[in-house]
Amino acid sequence: MDQQQGEAFMSDADTKVEEIADDLTTKTQETIKDNVGHAKPVLRDLRESAGAALDKAADLAQKASAAGVQALDAVQGGARGASQAATAIYQQGARTSGSVARYTAEQPLTALLVAAAIGYGIAYLIHRP
């Protein structure tokens, strides 16, 4: 009898282990499904947030690029204007130098007196208290 009772006990134990294993499997599957169900909206929200962040970053990059282009255009325009002004000043200086050279050749005494007066005026301004 002991052997029959032992076999019956083992059979009951196997049945209970199978039931417990089935329960655990079912509960684990339900928990996983619940967790996946809760994770889906979170992942969707994250995906939407990431998409919005990428859109904002692209927009910001485009605005920065446009501002950079405008700044570059302004600098180039200023450089062109400075170059034109320097050219005009150089040409005016060359014309004035030619005029002074001709006047000095035609009127040497008057040119000497004018130069002396200019020199005296500069010296007076420098040494004035």
Query: How do residues 66-125 score in pLDDT, each as one tens digit?
Result: 888 898 888 898 889 898 999 999 999 999 989 888 988 888 898 889 999 999 999 999
pLDDT at 39 over 80: no
pLDDT at 95: 92
Residue 92 identity: Q
User: Among 119, 94, 115, 118, which Cα is nearest to 104's?
Assistant: 115
pLDDT at 128 over 90: no
pLDDT at 87: 92
Cβ–Cβ under 8 Å, residues 103 and 111:
yes
Cβ–Cβ under 8 Å, residues 22 and 28:
no
pLDDT at 58 over 70: yes
pLDDT at 7 over 80: no
- Mean pLDDT of all residues in the chain? 85
Q: Return the axis-axis angle of helices 108-127 and 2-106, rounded to nearest 10°.
A: 130
